[in-house]
Amino acid sequence: MGRYLSQTVTIAVDAMGGDHAPGVVIDGCALSLERHPETRFLLFGDDEKISPHLKRHTALVAASEVHHTPDAVPMDAKPAQAVRQGRKSSMAMAITAVKVKRAQAVISAGSTGALMAMSKIQLRTFPGVGRPAIAAIWPTIGGETLVLDVGANVDSDIKQLVDFAILGEAFAHTVLHRARPRVGLLNVGSEDVKGNEVVKAVDALLRAADLPMDYVGYVEGDDISAGVVDVVVTDGFTGNIALKTAEGTAKLVAHYLRGALTSSPLSKFGALLASGGLKALKEKMDPRSANGGVFLGLNGLVVKSHGGTDALGFASALDLSIDLSGSDFGAHITSALESVHDKVKAADEALKAEKRAKKEAASK
């Protein structure tokens, strides 16, 4: 993904979110600042806990403002509880910074459910969008594929999945520079008879609506890394499992490879000769380099980092938020939604009428 940044960007950071905050968060900010020296950070969290880590990074001190918020949202907090009790938390105040236009983006490694709930309440969704989705940029054989949802919504109905297709197509067109993004619906097979009733209904609706996208139909799990399509649409339950499975597989392959290359003196010598290529392979397979998911469908840029990531992974998520802050994908998504919702509604009504007619004919 290319960089859009041409001016100073301010990122609001939930410094207390994540399994290893605030240390990993601050170290990640320092790494990202090296790559994006024009960036400024608003750090929200406990000043006493942040300061010892911040003092180790002179450049970051000059590029940051610390906003003391003694409260933090626990990683296991339920969304409703977080909304009620966390109004002055580091997560809530970081989101507010985007709401009042003090920052172009907010990033957190905290509770996904809490982040979605708070972001939806403060920033609101685009007209016609019920719930936002987390979109992850997935490395593939030929480049990158956008996968959504990867964790924001455990259950998704027909309309939500259709919205995800529209949101993903607009994002891929604007951010990934795909002239006409290919969109696929994740399923257990490519045959028409495969899948549950929700997936079948979404497929029928996307075909009947004749939307301005290259909808190719069903795709399977192994099609994601193959880069068969530019956008893969699924519910958050399935998408999150797919994401975690891919990350686990990458770690397993790295473990096997490391063992094979250190099993004997000869293999160690071969590894030394191929060190350049092996280093490049390690970087491509490192899940931390693809860390960060974007909440699509909100009137504001929200990026979610994995809670258990390290400084390198958090820096990757920050890089994503900085790149996106300089793009206009939000305006393109709004335009896309406005232009297709009427078509989707009309197609949905036609399909329901056809279903009723078939049912009536069968009963006679």
Homologous superfamily of 1-124+299-327 in CATH? Isopropylmalate Dehydrogenase (3.40.718.10)
pLDDT value at 311 more than 70? yes
- Comma-separated ranges of CATH 3.40.718.10 domains in the chain: 1-124+299-327, 127-297+328-364
Q: With DSSP H G I counted as helix, E B as strand and the rest as coil, what are the percentages for the chain, rounded to 5?
A: 50, 15, 30
pTM value is 0.84
pLDDT digits (tens, 9 = 90+) for 273-297: 777 776 776 666 666 777 889 999 9
Please state, rounded to an integer, the average pLDDT across all residues of the chain.
Answer: 87
Order of all β-strands in the sheet with 64-68 = 64-68, 40-45, 10-14, 105-108, 301-304, 293-296, 133-139, 144-148, 231-233, 182-186, 214-219
Three-state secondary structure call for residue 214: strand
Q: Supply 330's token pair.
A: 């939000």
pLDDT value at 348 more than 80? no
Mean pLDDT calculated for residue range 183-188: 94
Three-state secondary structure call for residue 343: helix
pLDDT digits (tens, 9 = 90+) for 221-239: 989 989 999 999 999 999 9
Three-state secondary structure call for residue 174: helix
Homologous superfamily of 127-297+328-364 in CATH? Isopropylmalate Dehydrogenase (3.40.718.10)
Residue 146 burial by CB count (10 A; 0-12/13-18/19+): exposed, middle or buried?
Answer: buried
